[in-house]
C-alpha cells in the first residue's frame, strides 16, 4: 500500500495534463458519441426556443392602489396562487392551466414571455381534474403549442417541464416519464397521472410537460412534498377533452350512476370465481338515481362498463366520468355468481354543495370521513336525533361511495347519534384506516354504508 498510493497521486496530474494537452501540442480526440451529445444539446436548445414563448405566468389580479404598490415593494416573494399556464389557442388568447392556480379569482394577471403583463379572465374550471381555461386579450402575436397523443406514451421517454418555480420565469427542466396511469394519490377525483422525475416545484403548476418534439403531453399539477423527483402531470388527451368542454359549455358534463362501490375482497372473488383485482362491488344503491332505476342491487359486481374492464373503484369513476349524461351504457355484472348485462341511462354528475380538497394534502383540513355535518334542525335535542351531511369532499371515500348533502347519519358503529360532540367522540376512537359502519336515511328511507377513516 505504501508504494501504490504515491504512484496514484502522481498519475492524477499526469493524466489531467495529458487530457488538456493544449500547450503541449497533444491532440485531443473527441469521445465516441460526442456528436450525438451535441445533437441532443442543440435539440433541447431549439425546443426551449420553440415552447418558452407559449408558457405564461399566472397570479390573481389585484387592482393597483398606492397601499398595494407599497406592500408589493416590501414583499418580493412569489404571489399566492402563482403558477404557470400554456397558450393553447394563440388566435383567441386561450390558456390552459390548473384550476387550483386560478381558484377564487375571476380576473387573472398573466405575464407573457418577455415580461409583458395583461389581465385575463377565467372561462371555466373543473376541480375534478384540476384544469381550467383562461382567456386574455390578443393585443399582439402570440405563440401556442401543439398537443401530443398521451395514450402512446411509454415509461422511459425523455420529457421537459416548463414553468415559473418560485417566481423564476421560463424555467425549463428535463427528465423522463417515471410511470403512467398513476391513481389513488389523492390529488383529484379523476386520477390518471403521468409521473415524471423532471424537476417540478411550486410555480410549475399549470405549465406544460413536453416530449422532445415540443408537443404538450401533459399539464403539470402537483408534487409529493415529502419526496424528491416525484411529480405528476395530467395527460394531454384528458386536457384536450376537458378544455374543449370548458370552451364550449363553460363547464364539464359527466355521467352519474348513483352507487357506492368498493374493491372485491379476495374471499368474495374466490367464492364467485372472479380473478382477484377484477370488478368492483356495489355496496349501496341510491334512491332515484340511474342505478336504482335500472335495477342494480347491493352485492352486484360490475365487471365491465360499455365493454371496458373495471378493475378498481377509481377506474370505474373515471370511466363513468367520461360518458356524457343521458347516454345509455351496458353494464356487465355478476349477480349471485351469474353473469348479466344491464342497460343504464346515466344522469348528470351532481356538483352542488361539493368542494375540492387541498391539493397538497386532500384531507389535511377536512373531517376524517370526508364529510362536514350540521344539526338535523337547528339544534339537536333528544327528539330529533342525527346529523345531516352539509358537504361532501371531492376525492374522499364518502364521495366515492355516493354520499350526498342532505343524507342524515343516525348511527355510527351501532351507537345512535344525538349530537355533534357524540359523533366526534365516536370517530375519535376509530383508528385511521379502520372501517366505520353508518346507518343513514335519504328521503325517509334507511340504508347502511361502510366507510374507512381517512385521517
DSSP string, 244-311: HHHHHHSS---EE--EEEEE--HHHHHHTT--TT--EEEEEE-TTSHHHHHT--TT-EEEEETTEE--
Residue after which a domain boundary falls, among 252, 268, 301:
252
- Domain assignment present for residue 286? The answer is yes
Q: How confident is the model at residue 288 (pLDDT cuts 50, 70, 90)?
A: confident
pLDDT for position 67: 53
Torsion 194-197-199-202 (CA) sign: positive
Which of 126, 127, 128, 130 is flagged as catalytic?
Answer: 130
The residue behind cell 394531454 is 236
- Domain assignment present for residue 197? The answer is yes
Q: How confident is the model at residue 311 (pLDDT cuts 50, 70, 90)?
A: confident
Q: How confident is the model at residue 227 (pLDDT cuts 50, 70, 90)?
A: low
Which of 57, 59, 99, 100 is flagged as catalytic?
Answer: 100
Q: How confident is the model at residue 418 (pLDDT cuts 50, 70, 90)?
A: confident
Task: Give yes or no: residues 169 and 267 share one domain.
Answer: no
Number of folded domains in the chain? 3
- Domain assignment present for residue 25? The answer is no
Task: Give yes or no: residues 235 and 259 share one domain.
Answer: no
Note the pTM of the prediction, 2 decimals.
0.64
Q: What is the CA radius of gyration of the chain?
A: 27
Task: Give yes or no: residues 260 and 216 share one domain.
Answer: no
Task: Give yes or no: residues 261 and 322 share one domain.
Answer: yes
Alpha helices, H only, 63-160 = 66-74, 99-102
Higher pLDDT, 148 or 189: 148
- Domain assignment present for residue 369? The answer is yes
Q: What is the CATH number of the domain that holds 241?
A: 2.40.10.120
Higher pLDDT, 296 or 32: 296
Average pLDDT of the chain?
79
> What is the widest separation between alpha-carbon atoms in the chain?
100
Residue after which a domain boundary falls, among 194, 217, 252:
252
Residue after which a domain boundary falls, among 295, 327, 348:
348
- Domain assignment present for residue 35? The answer is no
pLDDT at 450 over 70: yes
Q: How confident is the model at residue 382 (pLDDT cuts 50, 70, 90)?
A: very low
Section 42-53 average pLDDT: 88
Task: Give yes or no: residues 140 and 287 share one domain.
Answer: no
pLDDT at 6 over 70: no
Q: Which of 66-80, 183-197, 261-275 has the lowest mean pLDDT?
A: 66-80
Closest CA to 434 of 448, 454, 416, 420: 454
pLDDT for position 9: 41
Task: Give yes or no: residues 362 and 267 share one domain.
Answer: no
Q: What is the CATH number of the domain that holds 374?
A: 2.30.42.10
∠ CA 399-403-407, nearest 5°, is 150
The residue behind cell 355516493 is 402
Task: Give yes or no: residues 333 and 204 share one domain.
Answer: no
Task: Give yes or no: residues 224 and 296 share one domain.
Answer: no
Q: How confident is the model at residue 184 (pLDDT cuts 50, 70, 90)?
A: low
Active site includes 419?
no
Strand partners, 445: 442
- Domain assignment present for residue 149? The answer is yes
H or E element that contains 348: strand 347-348
Closest CA to 162 of 150, 153, 171: 171
- Domain assignment present for residue 9? The answer is no
C-alpha to C-alpha distance for 70 and 393, rounded to whole angstroms: 39
Q: Are 206 and 219 contacting, i.e. CB atoms less than 8 angstroms apart? A: yes
C-alpha to C-alpha distance for 102 and 66, rounded to whole angstroms: 25
Active site includes 130?
yes
Section 426-432 average pLDDT: 76
Task: Give yes or no: residues 370 and 448 share one domain.
Answer: yes
Write down how long the chain is: 455
Section 273-289 average pLDDT: 83
pLDDT at 383 over 50: no
pLDDT for position 41: 84
- Domain assignment present for residue 37? The answer is no
C-alpha to C-alpha distance for 62 and 178, rounded to whole angstroms: 38
pLDDT for position 20: 47
Which of 99, 150, 188, 205 is flagged as catalytic?
Answer: 205
Closest CA to 394 of 434, 440, 368, 363: 363
Task: Give yes or no: residues 193 and 322 share one domain.
Answer: no
Q: Which of 12-16, 23-27, 137-141 has the lowest mean pLDDT?
A: 12-16
**Which tens digit of pLDDT belongs to each residue from 312-369?**
888 888 888 888 899 999 999 999 889 999 999 999 877 543 333 333 333 333 466 7
Closest CA to 391 of 418, 365, 410: 365
Q: Are 101 and 113 contacting, i.e. CB atoms less than 8 angstroms apart? A: no
C-alpha to C-alpha distance for 347 and 294, rounded to whole angstroms: 12
Q: Are 285 and 336 contacting, i.e. CB atoms less than 8 angstroms apart? A: no
Task: Give yes or no: residues 205 and 239 share one domain.
Answer: yes
pLDDT for position 344: 95
Task: Give yes or no: residues 248 and 265 share one domain.
Answer: no
**Which tens digit of pLDDT belongs to each residue from 67-113?**
544 444 444 444 445 789 999 999 999 999 998 888 777 889 999 98
**Domain extent for 410:** 354-452
Amino acid at each position: 500500500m505504501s508504494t501504490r498510493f504515491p504512484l496514484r497521486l502522481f498519475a492524477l496530474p499526469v493524466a489531467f495534463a495529458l487530457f488538456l494537452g493544449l500547450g503541449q501540442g497533444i491532440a485531443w480526440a473527441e469521445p465516441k458519441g460526442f456528436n450525438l451529445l451535441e445533437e441532443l444539446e442543440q435539440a433541447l436548445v431549439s425546443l426551449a426556443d420553440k415552447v418558452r414563448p407559449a408558457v405564461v405566468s399566472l397570479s390573481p389580479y389585484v387592482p393597483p392602489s398606492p397601499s398595494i404598490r407599497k406592500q408589493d415593494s416590501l414583499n418580493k416573494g412569489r404571489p399566492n396562487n402563482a403558477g404557470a399556464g400554456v397558450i393553447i389557442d394563440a388566435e383567441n388568447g386561450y390558456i390552459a392551466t390548473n384550476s387550483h392556480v386560478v381558484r377564487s379569482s375571476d380576473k387573472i394577471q398573466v405575464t407573457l414571455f418577455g415580461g409583458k403583463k395583461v389581465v385575463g379572465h377565467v372561462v371555466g374550471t373543473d376541480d375534478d381534474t384540476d384544469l381550467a381555461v383562461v382567456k386574455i386579450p390578443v393585443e399582439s402575436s402570440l405563440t401556442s403549442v401543439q398537443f401530443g397523443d398521451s395514450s402512446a406514451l411509454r415509461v422511459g421517454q425523455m420529457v421537459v417541464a416548463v414553468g415559473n418555480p418560485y417566481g423564476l420565469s421560463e424555467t425549463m427542466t428535463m427528465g423522463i416519464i417515471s410511470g403512467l396511469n398513476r391513481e389513488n394519490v389523492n390529488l383529484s377525483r379523476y386520477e390518471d397521472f403521468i409521473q415524471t422525475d423532471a424537476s417540478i416545484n411550486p410555480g410549475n403548476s399549470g405549465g406544460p410537460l413536453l416530449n422532445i418534439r415540443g408537443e404538450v403531453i401533459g399539464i403539470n399539477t402537483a408534487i409529493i412534498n415529502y419526496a424528491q423527483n416525484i411529480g405528476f402531470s395530467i395527460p394531454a388527451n384528458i386536457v384536450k377533452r376537458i378544455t374543449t368542454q370548458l370552451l364550449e359549455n363553460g363547464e364539464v358534463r359527466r355521467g352519474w350512476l348513483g352507487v357506492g362501490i368498493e374493491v372485491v375482497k379476495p374471499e368474495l372473488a374466490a367464492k364467485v370465481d372472479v380473478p382477484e383485482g377484477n370488478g368492483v362491488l356495489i355496496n349501496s344503491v341510491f334512491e332515484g338515481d340511474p342505478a336504482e332505476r335500472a335495477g342494480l342491487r347491493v352485492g352486484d359486481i360490475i365487471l365491465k362498463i360499455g365493454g371496458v374492464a373495471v378493475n378498481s373503484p377509481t377506474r370505474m369513476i373515471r370511466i363513468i366520468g367520461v360518458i356524457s349524461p343521458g347516454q345509455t351504457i351496458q353494464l356487465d355484472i355478476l349477480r349471485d355468481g351469474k353473469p348479466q348485462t344491464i342497460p343504464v341511462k346515466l344522469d348528470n354528475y351532481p356538483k352542488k354543495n361539493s368542494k375540492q380538497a387541498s391539493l397538497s394534502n386532500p384531507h389535511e383540513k377536512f373531517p376524517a370521513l370526508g364529510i362536514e355535518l350540521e344539526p338535523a334542525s337547528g339544534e339537536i335535542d333528544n327528539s330529533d336525533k342525527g346529523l345531516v351531511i352539509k358537504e361532501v369532499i371531492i376525492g374522499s371515500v364518502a364521495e366515492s361511495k355516493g354520499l350526498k348533502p342532505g343524507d342524515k347519519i343516525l348511527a355510527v358503529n351501532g351507537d345512535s347519534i344525538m349530537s355533534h360532540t357524540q359523533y366526534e367522540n365516536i370517530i375519535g376512537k376509530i383508528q385511521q384506516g379502520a372501517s366505520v359502519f353508518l346507518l343513514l336515511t335519504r328521503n325517509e328511507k334507511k340504508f347502511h354504508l361502510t366507510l374507512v377513516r381517512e385521517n
